[in-house]
Amino acid sequence: MTDTTVAPAPESLLAAPDQATQQEIVREIEEVHAAHARAVADGTYRGGQTLYDFPPYRSSILRHPTKNPKLVDPETIELTSPAFGQRDVAAIEADLTLQHAGEPLGERMVVRGRVLDGWGRPVRQQLVEIWQANSAGRYIHKRDQHPAPLDPNFTGAGRAITDDDGWYEFTTIKPGPYPWRNHRNAWRPAHIHFSLFGSAFTQRIVTQMYFPGDPLFPLDPIYQSIPDQQDRDRLVATYDHDLTEPEFKLGYRWDIVLTGQHRTWFEPEGDHR
């Protein structure tokens, strides 16, 4: 069973004193954004490019690709499998509040939306997976040891298959913001990680959904590594009072668009903090 004791943060988990301050990180973000705005103005920005090397997001300096990607023909099996359908995923897997004997703590919520292609057509029978921190901002993961409690009634992972109109829906607990060691006093805005499997291993894409009005947006070098405000906005869910159930849970709406000019921003591979 999970350990719920709260221990003080060991020094080794805190940012080193020589790491940048939040103010310095914000200044660096502004500089990169200003350079981006100049590239847009002089026509050298082609749009939709991922800034793989985003210095305010420190680990991106070390692990972004430095060579052109080498295209390799996938094996036939990789193009056709595995394939998931309604029968492979139980409906209960889309409710993260029902996975244990007791109820998880925190703000119960539902997130519902459609997976669409660039022409607004529904993407059907797609495996959508989510993972997230609990309401205290803690993941069940041995690398997450910051002093916030685990919740014995919350694992933080779920999955669903889109229906014939491309709809998915998850019931969960609103995740809390959590600290990380990018710089001194660094905190991630509350977010839910989303994976869309596609129809084979070669198509999987991953992104994050955020919550409206989060005060940590301007401070977060991961969110800010997306250069265009419109692209950042598309990662933020909308509060939907029609989805909210009286006395029970708050409703958020978030659509995922796979292609085209208004597509959702997806992360480079292996970058799922």
Its sign, for the CA torsion 66, 221, 30, 34, is: positive
DSSP bridge pairs for 111: 170, 252
Which residues have a Cβ under 8 Å from the Cβ of 138 and sit 6 or more positions away? 144, 146, 148, 149, 150, 151, 176, 178
Identify whether 139 is a catalytic site residue: yes
Please calculate the CA angle 201-271-57 and round it to the nearest 5 degrees. Answer: 160
SS3 166: coil
The label of the residue with tokens 């029970």 reads 248
Task: Name the catalytic one among 191, 210, 223, 234.
Answer: 191
Task: Name the catalytic one among 108, 114, 159, 188.
Answer: 188
Identify whether the C-beta of residue 263 lies closer than 8 Å to the C-beta of residue 257: yes
Token code pair at residue 218: 């301007």
SS3 11: helix
Task: Name the catalytic one among 57, 168, 178, 252.
Answer: 178
SS3 25: helix
Task: Name the catalytic one among 57, 139, 210, 223.
Answer: 139
Task: Name the catalytic one among 193, 223, 234, 252.
Answer: 193
Identify whether 188 is a catalytic site residue: yes
Token code pair at residue 47: 């749009």
Identify whether 191 is a catalytic site residue: yes
Q: Show which residues are catalytic.
A: 139, 178, 188, 191, 193
